[in-house]
């Protein structure tokens, strides 16, 4: 196994490993360390079934089942489908326009996701890329005064607000049901969080944020938007251009990500597993 680090410290490329094969504890420990060191790992040229994808994910912890149940694989609800395929009746097979805003997965839960593992089955010849931004680097680049100011604040995160914004935009998303909305009430998390495994500080905001605890609605919304823009800006980024067979794993506790659009005449079909995480502190 070989891990090639990017100059930015975000996104390690791991070659010489078959994620579909049984993996001993030493090999897993090496991957786990690389994950903590690089925040994003790229495993090219993988050929894995949903069962193997789930089994590899399970090495890291418990899996999440996504709230949008119509986009889960029927036999494997741990797998969320991102796709522009349609069923014979015209219904979407997966989320077609997933994540086209900077965010950290499931930040709207009391216990947001630790990590996500996205496996590309088919990708368009160009675009449909995913960008990542290091929230360690974004935090480190702040002035001491700004670090101090942000450390006292908590942001409000809400899934339904974002979902309905996206529904309005592209018109490809179904409205959330009352039951789905009830399952994801607004929560708040510290804007500066400490990574529970590395002990390093990171910024924790993004596209599910609707405001700041204690601020007027509009002021809070503008504050989190501006901070998310800063935290996802160019110097902190890694751009991933997909090939079919790539499995990309990212740490939601210290990296944000954002998908780009693509020409819908091409198929983009991916499976995602998601790891449960702990309440941010």
What is the binding site for ligand OGA (CB under 6 A)?
Answer: 82, 98-99, 105, 116, 118, 130, 257, 259, 272
Alpha-carbon gap, residue 147 to 185, rounded angstroms: 28
Taking the least distance from each CB to ligand OGA, the nearer of 205 and 259 is 259
158 classed as catalytic: no
Which entry of 66, 97, 105, 173 is annotated as an active-site residue? Answer: 105
97 classed as catalytic: no
CB 234 within 8 A of CB 86: no
Taking the least distance from each CB to ligand OGA, the nearer of 173 and 257 is 257
The alpha carbon of 259 is separated from its chain's Cα centroid by a whole number of angstroms, namely 10
Q: Which two tokens stand for residue 221?
A: 């919304």
Q: Which two tokens stand for residue 172?
A: 């490809």
DSSP 95: B
Q: Which three-class secondary structure state does DSSP give residue 15?
A: strand
Q: Per rule CB under 5 A, is residue 277 in the interface with Mn ion?
A: no
Binding span for Mn ion by CB under 5 A among 95-103, 153-161, 180-188, 233-241: 95-103
CA 71, 76, 81, 84 dihedral sign is: negative
Which entry of 53, 103, 162, 268 is annotated as an active-site residue? Answer: 103
Q: Which residue is nearest to Mn ion (CB)?
A: 99
Q: Which three-class secondary structure state does DSSP give residue 98?
A: coil
Q: Per rule CB under 5 A, is residue 78 in the interface with Mn ion?
A: no
Among 97, 105, 166, 188, binds Mn ion (CB under 5 A): 105
Q: Which residues belong to the active site?
A: 103, 105, 257, 272
Question: Which parts of this chain interact with Mn ion (CB under 5 A)?
Answer: 99, 105
């Amino acid at each position: 196994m070989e891990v090639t680090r990017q100059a930015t410290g975000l996104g390690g490329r791991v070659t010489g490993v078959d994620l579909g094969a049984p993996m001993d504890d030493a090999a897993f420990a090496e991957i786990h360390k690389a994950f903590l060191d690089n925040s994003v790992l790229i495993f090219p040229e993988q050929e894995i079934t949903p069962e193997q994808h789930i089994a590899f994910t399970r090495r890291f912890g418990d899996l999440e089942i996504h709230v949008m149940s119509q986009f889960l694989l029927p036999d494997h609800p741990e797998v969320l489908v991102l796709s522009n395929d349609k069923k014979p009746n015209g219904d979407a097979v997966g989320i077609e326009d997933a994540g086209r805003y900077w965010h950290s997965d499931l930040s709207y839960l009391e216990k947001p996701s630790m990590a996500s593992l996205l496996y590309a089955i088919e990708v368009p010849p160009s675009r449909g890329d995913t960008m990542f931004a290091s929230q360690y680097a974004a935090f480190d680049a702040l002035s001491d005064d700004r670090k101090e100011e942000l450390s006292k604040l908590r942001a409000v995160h809400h899934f339904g607000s974002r979902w309905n914004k996206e529904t309005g935009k592209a018109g490809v998303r179904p409205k959330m049901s009352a039951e789905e909305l009830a399952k994801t009430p607004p929560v708040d998390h510290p804007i500066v969080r400490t990574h529970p495994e590395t002990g390093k500080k990171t910024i924790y905001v993004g596209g599910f944020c609707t405001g700041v605890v204690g601020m007027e609605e509009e002021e809070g919304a503008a504050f989190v938007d501006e901070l998310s823009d800063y935290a996802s800006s160019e110097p902190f980024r890694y751009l991933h251009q997909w090939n079919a067979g790539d499995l990309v794993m990212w740490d939601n506790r210290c990296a944000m990500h954002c998908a780009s659009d693509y020409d819908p005449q091409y198929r983009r079909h991916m499976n995602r597993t998601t790891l449960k995480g702990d309440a941010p502190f």
